[in-house]
Structure 1
Amino acid sequence: MLEFKTRPASVAGPLGPLTIDDLPSSCTTYWVSRRKAEVLAAIDGGMLALEDACQRYRLSPEELAAWRRSIDRAGIPGLRVTKMREYRGRYIG
């Protein structure tokens, strides 16, 4: 018998409740910090599996792990590409 795992209809996102319809388009190529935070929130909340996120957005697990490290270290502002260089130099050692 297969185990069926239900996924939540919504999770807490960076700007409030987040549903699957609120997630960035699968065609997204320009990643602003809010979109990155939404994808991470969907994964954390169980709405989107890591493997599904990688496939949907054509991202590697390593790239998502880098986003995770950035948000853990500096919050959503740490996800900004222009800030990543600053935060990276400050925290990697």
Structure 2
Amino acid sequence: MYLKKVEGPRAIRLPDGTVMTMADLPSTKTRRWVASRKAAVVRGVLYGLISKDDAMSRYGLSDEEFREWTLAMSTYGEHALKATTLKRYRQP
């Protein structure tokens, strides 16, 4: 079996016990960002599967956009990443 050399770990174990691999990250061609895809990218960066710079260049994200995703998820959870409920979690 051939294993391709990659930077960083091949898989990480999340605090809930599940294993996350590079295959669990969204495709690089993703244009429609649903909450679960945003959460997967944030988890991948927070737990060391990919670097923040790699995620930003891979998915074409701005620093501000990624910071907002991280803040929303850490403060309110994955539900705050939904576009339809975003206004509930914004400060007036």
Partner of 1:54: 56
TM-score after normalising by structure 1:
0.81
Could you list the runs of 5+ residues in structure 2 that have no partner in the other structure? 1-6
Does structure 2 retain, via aligned residues, the 8 Å contact 1:9–1:47?
yes
- Alpha-carbon distance in structure 1 between the residues aligned to 2:40 and 2:15: 6
Runs of 4+ in 1 over 6 A off after TM superposition: none
Deviations 1:10-47 (A, max 9, x none): 22288x32101221000001111111111011101111
Cα distance change of structure 1 residues 19 and 27 upon mapping to structure 2, 3 Å threshold: same
Code of the aligned partner of 1:8:
P
Shift of 1:86: 1.2
Partner of 1:8: 9
Partner of 1:34: 36
Could you list the runs of 5+ residues in structure 1 that have no partner in the other structure? 1-5
RMSD of equivalent CA atoms: 1.8
Count of equivalent residues = 84
Aligned partner of residue 18 in structure 1, secondary structure = strand
